Structure 1
């Protein structure tokens, strides 16, 4: 079948840079998905995205659908005549055109026809209409007198198959082969000769690099080259790199300087000021200290680059001066004195103010500190000051500095260094893979802060629902679990939830409802945590059957079961345990305990002896949480249990023997399930 290259380009005013790639991916996905539904095969798909255009090229797209045979089953030949006539009308034929076919249920009318495939050129307009309508645009805008809506005003478009244009209009614009290049470096409109020449023509004639990834690589390379020339290291934030890539069509990197006097401000404040307001990258020396340098990505090739640099230096100076002013002003007031103002800041309408929250966190952190062997007084102090920096000018201007500025200002106030560090670190981890708090004091505050939020919101009946999680409780829970597990903190969550609940006043939901609901929510997050670590879900489910309220204990069991599955004896023991479970579920557990005197056969005596030895050896091992050794010992039961099933008839006619053997299997099942229900494991 004939093929041709497809091109769609939508030219607009400058698109939002943070949304650019999401729009591009959605456009590509929708177009290719629809082509698949239409049965149109094609070759490589190449998406393009710049500030002023979204484009897709599809190589070797079939120019026509294949013919297809359609068959529709109608009513029975015994059906009323009107029903048959109605079916014929729906098929746009007469009764004589219907066939009669034999089926298992009798004879039925059937309509069959050969449908000629449509030309692809005739289908593309609808494909693009659907794709544009389904783009993830939070807020559409109108322009001029038109009632058309899009994320930004549309200026032109190209929709072609090969060199043939699709006969359609978009946003009241006519289709053509004309594109536009760089806003400043291009000379007039550019006539695109073919889809295959699109990217090269825009580069050569329009001074536009249409590939997002290519522009991103160009920027990264230029940054590295300039850093090397300055004997510095450029810190490339990937989100910032994506954003500036979405702001330029022909990237040119320029490096400027700022006054070293600004370096007395905490580095992160300078970085936030440069990154958030100016989209600048920063540099550090070989010790990791920030240098008085910045890099900006320009969208033009200037005849005098120094003038552009000087202009950026003039712009950044007042920004950094503001940071210095905020910093110096904030230091005139202690953190502790800022706490009272938090009493006017609502944390959540039903849960009180931020000051109320800090008081609860302080008390709970003190309790947790005692449980993990930390200084409870320091933990209480850190909890009490944990949100004080929210009232500082620096954090009000740069919200991402919360915690960090608390750390800096606490040191300035003469607070204990561990307390000061905890003000920053209790927010850790902020995202997947982020570092954990570095002291037990910070960990205590971090756990208390998260538990307070969880208990409060569940207590007022506002748990996360579906995709809605306005307080990021899922992320907070994963952070809570990581701190407890990775720092080996032996904590009973049920007890902590009860303590946190007691610190809240008049929660509408009772503790009896909140506690189990929250425990289930937290341990469900643990399932997602293990899935990210590629731990099989059946391991998680096996441990859930015998879990305590300690995440650390749960993790030890998971790790032990994971190691157990690597043993040669594991598959046989799992299979036999499933057999034991099936027998007991159908026949009960027999006597309350087995009687050794009734064990007659060698296989059952051997199994009973092996079980007794392992029960004694595992008693202390499991008490100390050494589940790895316990499962290693249980693996020794695989042989005796296999021999037991080979030689022994459990369901004998002698009720005494039968009940005794069932009791033996019941004790064995109990022992096998003390770490996890291994019958749930795949083998």
Structure 2
């Protein structure tokens, strides 16, 4: 079957856009081809700084013939209805339609529409120009006098189609004066001349000869392999950086890794500053000494050219720039050290956190007060927690954080340590921002935990108070991340904090707003537990019986998690599955009878004398077993022994099974029927001592 090759050759595409652009090219083109009736075996897209390429394998050479029977209006319908039918069916008169009789609806017109298939070349010649003209670049503009909007000037379009056994054809079309062809160019400097391409296989090999590695994954591997080898040859090791590696792979078509150096005196700067400076300004990798773990005064750069002088000029140029940048960083660092964090606090009065939530200074005071309240709950010194909270945002007004915002917190830790602050305070200044993502570590030191929780709770309660909650996919203030951060801190440190109370301490919120925020925590907890393998319905079951301020669901997230784990283990056992089946049988009967009777049996109490009079031993046994089980289960739950509570409930299984086997619930005697429904309500109540079983699926 034929293959399609497309290349869009342009000026340099920003590295951050290349991966998405390649995916968009593949999905848009293949989607349009399939919609037009063509099928294919496989498709893959690639991106380099100067080109987007797509290969579609096993594309059918022609779309299938299509036939359609389109039903029209009834015979004798108004003229306008007939005109619309004829226009939609492509008929010139009703004489071209046939009349079909329906016993109920009468006679109506039917058009038989046939559409012959089309050659793939014809479809491709429509699809590619349409995709190019509507390509979803994040940013684009018109270049020159044309109407086409593209990320950078588009120079050529390569488009060939044909089977492996024949010479492929150029699919002819034009986009904004650019005619499709079968030529492309190699590396801008090393092989700039045009050359002809037939199909994907010789396209890749020809590009390689022209000093272009098409596959970004392969460019990435080449860079990483060469960087490791070059570092090893110098007795050093690469400080790996996946994001930077991806970016650099998008900046070069023919990667050449080179090593440079800078003065050892710059190593007095914090290593994170050196790395940020070299990374941000020159897209270079730093190296470390494996013997000490400290940074070395070397760096690796990735050139897009194999220079005739072995890269000496390129290295020298980068060294000059890095030297200047590190000099600036050293200046900022030394200037920052000359002023204590305490002395910087007044400047926070001039920084607005949010127009409705006041300044950073006001926020710092709120965080300090909340950290003081939380500190005893997490085993932290309240005074140290308050001190750390007051200094936590002071580095925002330093020169270094102004230059590299991503170093906020970290620089505060360096400055606090240099000025003699308690190590716990210095650590909390850095760690109070954590965790900032799923892979980020969680604070473990008590003072850091107190300040981190206070910072995130202040953010959440503040934005809930002004009704700036996340909506749909929009979360401009990263409130979901803040809530997940709180949850991870609590769970991974095994903390017992009731967040209903914590929310009330953080801010005075109306009851409905506080409840909504607590529900938001529950939703985030479900997300977290699902990622850990828990069933969302079990989380719902545990939370549902504790929505009021006194239950476990009122905010003790660790307790909720333990209950979910115990419930999951119990329902995975034979006893658990059997009890769930008995619960459902009882609940279903109750639901039907409550609907029929127009009342609830929730609070109905079995009449003991009537149990004796019926003579049904299974009834009396079940009543006695349920009384004991509920009492024991409640006691186990009070001790937070959830496994014990569920084991107690499991002991009711034989009595429940016997009751359903031997006793008719809907007895003829109304009093006996009511008594037996009350027993079913006791089964339901027993199960609800540990969770709302009605929310358990499956």
1:538 CA displacement? 1.7
Deviates more, 1:133-142 or 1:403-412: 133-142
- The 5-angstrom pairing of residues 34-49 of structure 1 reads 34-49=32-47
C-alpha deviation, 1:184, in angstroms: 0.6
**Which residue number corresponds to residue 23 of structure 1?**
21
Q: Which residue of 2 aligns with 1:125?
A: 125
Residue deviations 1:319-377 (CA, integer Å, cap 9, x gap): 11111111111111111111110100000011100111110000001101122332111
1:615 positional shift: 2.6
User: Is the alpha carbon distance of 1:668 and 1:457 closer, same or farther for their aligned partners in structure 2, counting shifts above 3 Å?
Assistant: same
Pairwise CA distance, 1:77: 3.5
Contact 1:74 1:87 in 2 (8 A): yes
Secondary structure (helix, strand or coil) at the match of 2:525 reads helix
Contact 2:259 2:315 in 1 (8 A): yes
**2:260 matched to which residue of 1?**
256
Identify the match of residue 683 of structure 2 among 668, 675, 679.
668
Q: Give 2:251's match in structure 1, choosing from 247, 254, 268.
A: 247
Could you tell me how far apart the structure 2 residues matched to 1:536 and 1:126 are? 48
1:51 and 2:54 matched: no
Q: Does 1:149 align with 2:149?
A: yes
CA distance in 2, matches of 1:90, 1:618: 70
| Counterpart residue number, 2:237 | 233
Matched, 1:642 2:642: no
* 1:134-145 mapped onto 2 (5 Å cutoff): 134-145=134-145
Structure 1: where are the runs of 5+ without partners?
A: 503-509
1:681 aligns with 2:696: yes
Matched residue SS, 2:25? helix
- Structure 1 equivalent of residue 193 of structure 2: 188
The structural deviation recorded for 1:431 is 0.6
TM-score for both structures, normalised by structure 2: 0.93
Specify the alignment match of 2:312 in structure 1. Answer: 306
Equivalent residue number for residue 581 of structure 2? 575
Which residue in 2 is equivalent to 1:523? 522
**Residue 73 and residue 256 in structure 1: after superposition, are their counterparts in 2 closer, same or farther (change >3 A)?**
same
Greater mean alpha carbon deviation, residues 167-176 or residues 24-33: 167-176
Separation of aligned partners in 2, 1:196 and 1:306: 35
- What are the Cα deviations for residues 253-296 of structure 1, in whole angstroms up to 9, with x where unaligned? 11222222211111111111111111111222335322222111
- SS of equivalent residue, structure 2 residue 5: strand
2:284 is matched with 280
Asked if 1:595 is matched to 2:607, the reply is yes
Alignment of 1:348-363 (within 5 A): 348-363=354-369
Match of 1:412 in 2: 418
1:394-447: per-residue Cα shift (whole Å, max 9, x none)?
A: 111111101111111111111111111001111111111211002121111111
Matches within 5 A, 1:195-206: 195-204=200-209, 206=210
Partner of 1:464: 470
Q: Which moved more, 1:126-135 or 1:414-423?
A: 126-135
Asked whether the 8 Å contact 1:603–1:647 carries over to 2, the reply is yes
Distance in structure 2 (CA, Å) of the matches to 1:6 and 1:578: 58
Distance 1:438 1:62 in 2: 60
Q: 1:134 to 1:544 in 2, by over 3 A?
A: farther
Q: Which runs of 5+ in 2 are unaligned?
A: 163-167, 547-552, 595-599
371-380 or 413-422: which moved more?
Answer: 371-380
Instruction: Classify the secondary structure of the residue corresponding to 1:579.
Output: helix
CA distance in 1, matches of 2:83, 2:304: 68
Partner of 1:369: 375
Q: Give the secondary structure class of the aligned counterpart of 2:150.
A: coil
CA RMSD of aligned residues (A): 1.9
Give the C-alpha shift of residue 187 in structure 1. Answer: 4.2
User: How far apart in 1 are the matches of 2:654 and 2:236?
Assistant: 65
Distance change (3 Å), C-alpha of 1:135 and 1:568:
farther
Aligned to 1:256, what secondary structure does the other structure show? strand
2: CA distance between counterparts of 1:130 and 1:475? 39
Q: 1:590 to 1:426 in 2, by over 3 A?
A: closer
Alpha-carbon distance in structure 2 between the residues aligned to 1:310 and 1:390: 34
Q: Which residue of 1 aligns with 2:393?
A: 387
> SS of the counterpart of 1:61?
coil
Displacement after TM superposition at 1:133 (Å): 4.5
SS in 2 for 1:207: coil
CA pair 366-316 structure 1, distance change in 2 beyond 3 A: same
User: CA 1:446–1:302 in structure 2 vs 1: closer, same or farther (change >3 Å)?
Assistant: same
- Which residue in 1 is equivalent to 2:333? 327
Go from structure 1 to structure 2 and tell me whether the alpha carbon gap of 1:192 and 1:114 turns closer, same or farther (over 3 Å shift): same
Per the alignment, residue 506 of structure 1 pairs with: none
What's the counterpart of residue 179 of structure 2? 174
Residue deviations 1:473-495 (CA, integer Å, cap 9, x gap): 11111111111122121112121
Separation in structure 1 between the aligned mates of residue 588 and residue 653 of structure 2, nearest angstrom: 17
Q: Cα–Cα, structure 1 residues 137 and 86, in superposed 2: closer, same or farther, change >3 Å? A: closer
Contact 2:6-2:159 at 8 Å conserved across structures: yes
| Match 2:642 to one of 627, 630, 635 | 627
Could you say what secondary structure the match of 2:238 adopts? Answer: strand
Deviation at 1:39, TM superposition (A): 2.1
Distance 1:135 1:628, change over 3 A: farther
What residue number does 2:165 align with?
A: none
Instruction: Report the Cα distance in structure 2 between the residues aligned to 1:322 and 1:103, rounded to whole angstroms.
Output: 87
The CA distance in 1 between the partners of 2:134 and 2:540, in whole Å, is 39
After TM superposition, give the deviation of residue 31 of structure 1 in Å. Answer: 1.1
Report how far residue 74 of structure 1 moved.
Answer: 1.0
User: What secondary structure sits across from 1:562 in the alignment?
Assistant: helix
CA contact (8 A) 2:329 2:400 kept: yes
Deviations 1:89-129 (A, max 9, x none): 43232322212335574443211133111111112233223
Q: Which stretch of the first structure deviates more once superposed, 95-104 or 47-56?
A: 95-104
Corresponding residue for residue 507 of structure 1: none
CA contact (8 A) 2:601 2:681 kept: yes
Q: Shift in Å at residue 641 of structure 1?
A: 1.4
Equivalence for 2:295: 290
Output aligned runs, 1:444-459, within 5 Å: 444-459=450-465
Q: Is the 8 A contact 1:590 1:662 kept in 2?
A: no
Between the aligned partners of 2:643 and 2:102, the Cα distance in structure 1 is 62
Residue range with higher mean Cα deviation, 349-358 or 104-113: 104-113
Cα offsets for 1:642-681 (capped at 9, x unmatched): 2211111122223332222222222221221122112322
* In structure 1, C-alpha distance between the alignment counterparts of 2:236 and 2:319, rounded to whole Å: 19
Measured in 2, the distance between the counterparts of 1:59 and 1:192 equals 16
* 1:351 to 1:24, Cα distance in 2 relative to 1, 3 A: same
Q: Give, in whole Å, the separation in 1 of the partners of 2:342 and 2:100.
A: 88
